[in-house]
């Protein structure tokens, strides 16, 4: 059974879990190292190091010229680019990538020179704070690219982004990496009035700013606690497929992709003999047959329904309840039945009905426990505190663990029979 033993969580670590628990497991529980160097990461690291050096110089009283800064960038880029860089897009050469970072440095330099609009308090500063979750103390920690003091006395938590895409303001207001750092900064300097979260999208020369109020900070803390609690209670770390899978460094290990990757690498002759491939071919055949039979059954059911209606009509007209055939006879019963709204039928009407019955003693007589909702709620950690503990205890005492196997066939897009 997998178990997370971390005592420290960074915002990016929490994000990994939020996006895909299995990726989290590989990286932080199993500690499988698969860090891939890409042109983007080389540019990102070189730009960050250049700005680190820039502000170290500015804090020391020396403002470098743009050529000097480019020189710093060039040497950082050269140090980062080696044979391990995985280049996916052959349209771009090393010099194209180098230029991407150089342009970022230039754009930032032109927009902020002489770098006197604020005072740098710290560069690449480790910040963190303790957080108590389910009675245990953990730490949330991370590194702030630059912490600055603005002329109005506000702290500014500055992050540099070399991403190609420029997110909108809504995205910035929802980001919680810098917002978690804000909680740490406020603990370190308790008399802090205002903290601004600032992202410099240096490819675009654009800065996004977000300010969080007290309610947003309280919610953030509780969300982070809930996430840590979910990690600590997770023993399955289910894969969560998303468009990010295309970039996931664990694809070859992931149960969703490992076998397709293995089979794709097999020579055609071996592929046809492969055990899994043969089983899936048989399964696809059976599924086709099942579908044909299902369609046939559907047609038979429709025919049957029609004939039942005809017999009932005939019996009604003849004023009989048994219609005789040569080798069998058909009994006909006609009665009125009341139907109440259902979840799938008329959900809104059902909600109205429930709202009326709930406050009455009738509710205890007719309502039933929704076991599915209890299990799903527990899985999604929908509750906290006493309610969560109660749900856990009920499931532990009354639940029965059984293995359920589900197989679903997904046809490949190039399958002619699909
Ligand atoms: S490939 Fe996708 S589902 Fe699998 S671990 Fe990576 S992100 Fe998760």
pLDDT confidence tier of residue 414, bands split at 50, 70 and 90: low
Question: Domain check: are 225 and 107 in the same one?
Answer: yes
Instruction: Give pLDDT tens digits for 218-271.
Output: 999 999 999 999 999 999 999 999 999 988 999 999 999 999 999 999 999 999
The whole-number average pLDDT for the span 199-211 is 96
Question: Domain check: are 79 and 55 in the same one?
Answer: yes
- Which of 227, 243, 259 represents a domain boundary (last residue)? 243
- Examine residue 149 and state whether it is found in any structural domain, yes or no: yes
pLDDT confidence tier of residue 89, bands split at 50, 70 and 90: confident
Question: Domain check: are 235 and 282 in the same one?
Answer: no
Q: What percent of the chain has pLDDT over 90?
A: 86
| 258 CB within 6 A, ligand 1 | no
- Examine residue 250 and state whether it is found in any structural domain, yes or no: no
| 23 CB within 6 A, ligand 1 | yes
Which CATH number is 55's domain given?
3.90.320
- Give me the DSSP letters along 215-244: HHHHHHHHHHHHHHHHHHH-SS------GG
Question: Domain check: are 290 and 170 in the same one?
Answer: no
Q: What is the pTM of this model?
A: 0.75
| 415 pLDDT above the threshold of 70 | no
Q: What percent of the chain has pLDDT over 70?
A: 98
Instruction: Give pLDDT tens digits for 20-67.
Output: 999 999 999 999 988 788 999 999 999 999 999 999 999 999 999 999
- Examine residue 416 and state whether it is found in any structural domain, yes or no: no
Instruction: Give pLDDT tens digits for 158-183.
Output: 999 999 999 999 999 999 999 999 99
Question: Domain check: are 95 and 218 in the same one?
Answer: yes
Question: Domain check: are 239 and 285 in the same one?
Answer: no
Question: Domain check: are 98 and 237 in the same one?
Answer: yes
Which atom number of ligand 1 is nearest to the Cα of residue 21?
A: 8
Q: Is the dihedral of CA 184, 187, 192, 193 positive or negative?
A: positive
The whole-number average pLDDT for the span 199-216 is 96
- Examine residue 131 and state whether it is found in any structural domain, yes or no: yes
- Examine residue 305 and state whether it is found in any structural domain, yes or no: yes
Question: Domain check: are 222 and 352 in the same one?
Answer: no
Q: Which of 166, 173, 183, 63 is nearest to 117 (CA)?
A: 63
- Examine residue 135 and state whether it is found in any structural domain, yes or no: yes
Instruction: Give pLDDT tens digits for 131-159.
Output: 999 999 999 999 999 999 999 999 999 99
Q: What range defines the domain where residue 286 resides? A: 273-331
Question: Domain check: are 279 and 234 in the same one?
Answer: no
Question: Domain check: are 27 and 95 in the same one?
Answer: yes
Interval between CA 257 and ligand 1 midpoint (Å): 8
- For the chain, the domain total comes to 3
Which atom number of ligand 1 is nearest to the Cα of residue 248?
A: 6
Tokens, residue 276: 């899994």
Instruction: Give pLDDT tens digits for 183-194.
Output: 999 999 999 989
């Amino acid at each position: 059974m997998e178990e997370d033993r971390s005592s420290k969580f960074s915002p990016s670590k929490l994000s990994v879990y939020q996006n895909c628990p299995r990726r989290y497991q590989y990286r932080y529980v199993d500690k499988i190292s698969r860090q891939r160097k890409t042109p983007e990461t080389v540019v990102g690291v070189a730009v960050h190091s250049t700005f680190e050096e820039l502000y170290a110089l500015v804090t020391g009283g020396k403002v470098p010229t743009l050529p000097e800064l480019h020189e710093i960038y060039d040497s950082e880029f050269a140090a980062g680019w080696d044979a391990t860089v995985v280049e996916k897009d052959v349209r771009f050469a090393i010099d194209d990538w180098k230029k991407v970072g150089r342009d970022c440095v230039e754009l930032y330099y032109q927009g902020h020179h002489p770098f006197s609009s604020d005072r740098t308090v710290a560069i690449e500063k480790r910040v963190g704070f303790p957080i108590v979750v389910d009675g245990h103390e953990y730490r949330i920690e991370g590194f702030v690219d630059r912490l600055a003091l603005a002329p109005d006395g506000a702290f500014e938590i500055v992050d540099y982004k070399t991403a190609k895409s420029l997110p909108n303001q809504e995205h910035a207001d929802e980001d919680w990496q810098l917002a978690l750092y804000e909680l740490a900064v406020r603990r370190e300097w308790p008399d802090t009035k205002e903290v601004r979260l600032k992202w410099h999208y240096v490819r675009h020369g654009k800065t996004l700013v977000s300010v969080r109020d007290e309610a947003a900070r309280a919610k953030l803390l509780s969300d982070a606690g809930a996430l840590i609690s979910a990690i600590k209670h997770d023993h399955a770390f289910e894969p969560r497929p998303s468009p990010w899978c295309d970039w996931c460094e664990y694809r070859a290990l992931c149960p969703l992709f490992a076998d397709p990757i293995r089979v794709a690498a097999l020579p055609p002759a071996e592929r046809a003999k492969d055990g899994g491939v043969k089983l899936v071919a048989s399964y696809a055949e059976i599924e086709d047959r099942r579908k044909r039979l299902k369609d046939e059954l559907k047609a038979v059911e429709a025919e049957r329904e029609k004939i039942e209606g005809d017999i009932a009509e005939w019996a009604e007209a003849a004023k009989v309840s048994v219609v005789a055939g040569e080798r069998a006879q058909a009994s006909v019963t006609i009665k009125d039945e009341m139907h109440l709204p259902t979840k799938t039928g008329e959900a809104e009407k059902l909600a109205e009905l429930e709202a009326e019955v709930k406050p009455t003693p009738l509710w205890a007589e007719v309502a039933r426990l929704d076991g599915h909702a209890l299990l799903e709620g527990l899985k999604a950690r929908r509750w906290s505190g006493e309610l969560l503990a109660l749900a856990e205890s009920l499931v532990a005492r009354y639940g029965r663990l059984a293995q359920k196997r589900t197989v679903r066939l997904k046809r490949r897009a190039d399958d002619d029979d699909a």
